[in-house]
Structure 1
Amino acid sequence: MKPFVFQQAEDVWPEGETLLHVYIAPSDQDRELTALVKRGREALRGFPITCVEERWLHITVDQITDRVGAAIPPAERQLLVAELEKQIAVVAPFDIMVGSLMSYATGVIADVHPDEPLNGLHTVVRAAIQTVRGSHATGYPTKVPHLTIGYATEECDSDQVQRKLRNEVRPGHAPMRVDAVHLVDVTADTQAKTITWEHVATIPLGANG
């Protein structure tokens, strides 16, 4: 496992800048997920991994890559919110399963599944972004959906981390309800290996259904 590097599209995240993202975030109703993540944090004690605080847990749906956050004024953000609301209104809320926790190349992630509703949501969100900002605004590479538990700060043995996770984080799965996405302006601390954000808007799924 190597230290995590935050990215803008496929480049290094610009130092001191924020980037707009669309995230899925757990809510208070996801109590089993909260317990799962807590067990994961306990298992990772002693490893050079910065665990994500509960309030900053997220699944990335997409990243707006054409400009840094400060260069996207309120009027342009509202156009983006309006288009997201329009397109996501026809997507019904759905349930996913989070877990198991996996030692990864640069940290620890939780797999999420099934893929189909998450991939469908990503397609709709990306279409909304491109409608407002053009295809050049969605340079973030499409990845298998996941929820990050922690970011590596130094090199460590991934196998040791995985053994701890498998032996100690049981049960290794938890349900999560997806009924909204969030447009957020994200700050990445490259030294502390943390992600935080300023909330821009919450867009509910299924507003027209």
Structure 2
Amino acid sequence: MSEGTGVPRRPGRPAKLSRERIVAAAGELPLHSLTMQGVADVLGVDRKALNYYVSDRAGLLQLLALNAFETEIAGLRFGPQTRWPELLRLCAAAMRAAYLQVGGLISAIDFGAVRGTDALGTVERILTRLIDAGFTSQEAGRTLTLFAEIARAAAYETLENTGGPPEAQAHNVVHALAGAGGEQFPALRRIAAERDAVRDRGVQFEFDLDVALAGLAARLRDRS
């Protein structure tokens, strides 16, 4: 019973906790030493009280990553005059920024797990703009997923260049070329050399966006 009231306390969500408080507490701790007990200590609650929201350390990391993603998406600003291609560029840039912000937690972000009200409202507006432009609802959803994947790939490239997770495909190609004769695979060698010379990984990001947007525009033109 609740003290002084005689009214039984209803089971369920602990009164002192919320997803936002847990994320804030987890953000105060170094990632390498982040634990459920550490978060509980920061919040001043029993460790078991966290289980309503998150069950283990992996869940904590996912909460941190998803929170960064939702914050970037919710902060996306665009007006009624923003055309859909520019809107998708802005969206991709926001998602890339979120992926970069979480760094090593990049794989913990699940675009489909977004549930923050502000973030969902922004996603709803983007989807509505795409549908109004002539895309079907299925195409609009798949387009957002495509641009999330482009943003994730671009973030991986940037992280690779700053000591983050390595880009396995590029590493394997360079390793294979090093063991081959100097006259073999001239096209691959030329591309690899040019890639090393261009340290701005945003070049690939912009190329991907240009190609994707051109394909989407052509899809609308063919339909009309």
TM interval, shorter chain, is under 0.3
More helix by share: 2
Relative contact order, CA 8 A, sep 6+: which one is greater? 1
User: Computing the radius of gyration over CA atoms, which structure comes out larger, 1 or 2?
Assistant: 2
TM-score w.r.t. the length of structure 2 is 0.23
